Amino acid sequence: MCNDMTMKSLSAAELAQLIEELSTAYERLQGNNLKLDLTRGKPDAQQLALSDALDGVLAGDYMASDGTDVRNYGGLLGLPETRALGAELMDTPADAIIAGGNSSLQLMFITLELALHQGLGNLIPWAEAESPTILCPVPGYDRHFTVCEELGLAMRCVDMTETGPDMAQVARAVADPNVVGIWNVPKYSNPTGVTYSAETVEQMAQLPASAAADNFLVLWDNAYAVHDFAEPHDELASIHSAAAAAGTSDHIVQFASTSKITFAGAGVAFVASGEHGNAAIVKRLSTMTVGPDKVNQLRHARFLGGRLREHMAKHAELLAPKFACVEEKLSQELADLGIASWTKPNGGYFVSLDVMPGLARKIIAMAAGAGVTLTPAGATFPYGDDPRDRNIRIAPTYAPLADVATSLDILTLCVRLASARTLLEQMQ
Ligand SMILES: Cc1ncc(COP(=O)(O)O)c(C=O)c1O
């Protein structure tokens, strides 16, 4: 009906008719008792099975390349071969990387807690600021926001653009000495799928030098470093090299993990800062553990060593059809209507959908009413508060392809129905 015109150009009578048609379709769906879930940004069972050979890969050989018996305590920096794996992920030399336990999120928490109360390396503690504040590019990753909330760090939003955070906003914000850090997911960002441009990476590396706070940290969560599913894949410039050139290495903290490469929750996590930052993190880790799970580290190094790209290509084969399905459905049902826009990532785990302001919450509730659970509205913003109530995170990786298709049919129907109702109300 409105293929070649935006929904906003429809007359009241046309909108009313459209609403009637869509409402009938929606009510029919409600009778189907569906139970579909697009909330989970986690690998599906087939993806996990790609790494089943981890189990048994050691075949009784527990000696690492440096002679470490991985069954025993110790080795807080991690095994050489596992740090080499981290180097491949992070585009950073292995000797600048710490291979830790199973969760990069935990390493982020430890780093922020340290920066807040003790100061990271030779930097003064954030707690000395009146109101230490972290910049949060939005939409962003909810667990970053939770870490800040838990530690009592204030958050200030900056907009994401197609090349990374809006660096003009960032530059203005860091003139405030309370602003002590910025979160980043620089490749296939959660949830927009944006990869930072080389220029943005360069600007981020230089940011600590221009920030009013002397203890400013760039938090670089490269969770999706090798998670490409389309060619040509996005290239991310090395923040390590840029920071070395800018003299800001101790102000950059990189994180990564194999959570979405092998087993989510049973992988290996990495952290890398400058010399002083790393020393402080290792010292803190030493108070918490006698050493990481090096058996798992060795398994990962043996399993992935020399074949990381090949392994990720298998994930891509499984994921690409799901993301293609999301794109196809969104384009088919919503393109050119002027009521929604969305991202088309080349990798990662999410698609970010923006609907008309004020409708995200309503649409998510409508989808739930028809049996599709989506990430709660607001989750992609600090404090769960999307000020324009318009962002919806789509996580298609875990559900089977057929469920992704059905869920998107329902979601797009809800977007059209809610938008048509709102447009009609605005006319009255
Ligand atoms: C951006 C980002 N960082 C970190 C994580 C969690 O990483 P880990 O499993 O290493 O704690 C996720 C998981 O969804 C994520 O999306």
Q: Are residues 317 and 230 in the same domain?
A: no
Q: Are residues 126 and 240 in the same domain?
A: yes
Q: Are residues 23 and 111 in the same domain?
A: no
CATH of the domain at 154: 3.40.640.10
Q: Are residues 41 and 102 in the same domain?
A: no
Q: From the CA of 338, how far away is ligand 1's center (Å)? A: 33
Which residue is closest in CA terms to ligand 1's atom 12? 223
The 10 Å Cβ neighbour count of residue 320 is 15
Among 98, 254, 259, the mutation site with the greatest number of ligand 1 atoms within 8 A of its Cβ is 259
Q: Enumerate residues 6+ apart whose C-beta is below 8 A from 173.
A: 135, 156, 158, 179
Token output for 97: 């990387």
pTM of the model: 0.97
CATH of the domain at 337: 3.90.1150.10
Q: Are residues 370 and 290 in the same domain?
A: no
CA distance 140 to 142: 6
The 10 Å Cβ neighbour count of residue 21 is 13
Q: Are residues 254 and 387 in the same domain?
A: no
Q: How many domains does the chain have?
A: 2
Which residue is closest in CA terms to ligand 1's atom 15? 223
Q: Does ligand 1 lie within 6 Å of residue 257's CB atom?
A: yes
Q: Does ligand 1 lie within 6 Å of residue 221's CB atom?
A: yes
Q: From the CA of 270, how far away is ligand 1's center (Å)? A: 12
- Model pLDDT, residue 5: 66
Q: From the CA of 41, how far away is ligand 1's center (Å)? A: 9
Q: From the CA of 143, how far away is ligand 1's center (Å)? A: 8
Among 105, 263, 271, the mutation site with the greatest number of ligand 1 atoms within 8 A of its Cβ is 105
CA distance 383 to 365: 19
Q: Which of 256, 290, 306 is the last residue of a domain?
A: 306
Q: Are residues 287 and 387 in the same domain?
A: no
Sequential pLDDT tens for the chain (428 residues): 334 469 999 999 999 999 999 999 999 998 888 899 998 899 999 999 999 999 999 999 999 999 999 999 999 999 999 999 999 999 999 999 999 999 999 999 999 999 999 999 999 999 999 999 999 999 999 999 999 999 999 999 999 999 999 999 999 999 999 999 999 999 999 999 999 999 999 999 999 999 999 999 999 999 999 999 988 899 999 999 999 999 999 999 999 999 999 999 999 999 999 999 999 999 999 999 999 999 999 999 999 999 999 999 999 999 999 999 999 999 999 999 999 999 999 999 999 999 999 999 999 999 999 999 999 999 999 999 999 999 999 999 999 999 999 999 999 999 999 999 999 999 98
Q: From the CA of 350, how far away is ligand 1's center (Å)? A: 12
Which atom from ligand 1 is nearest to the alpha carbon of 102?
10
Q: Quote the domain boundaries for residue 228.
A: 64-306
Q: Are residues 251 and 332 in the same domain?
A: no
Q: From the CA of 223, how far away is ligand 1's center (Å)? A: 6
Q: From the CA of 1, how far away is ligand 1's center (Å)? A: 42
Q: Are residues 322 and 387 in the same domain?
A: yes
- Model pLDDT, residue 207: 98
Nearest Cα neighbor of 305 from 79, 111, 136, 101 is 79
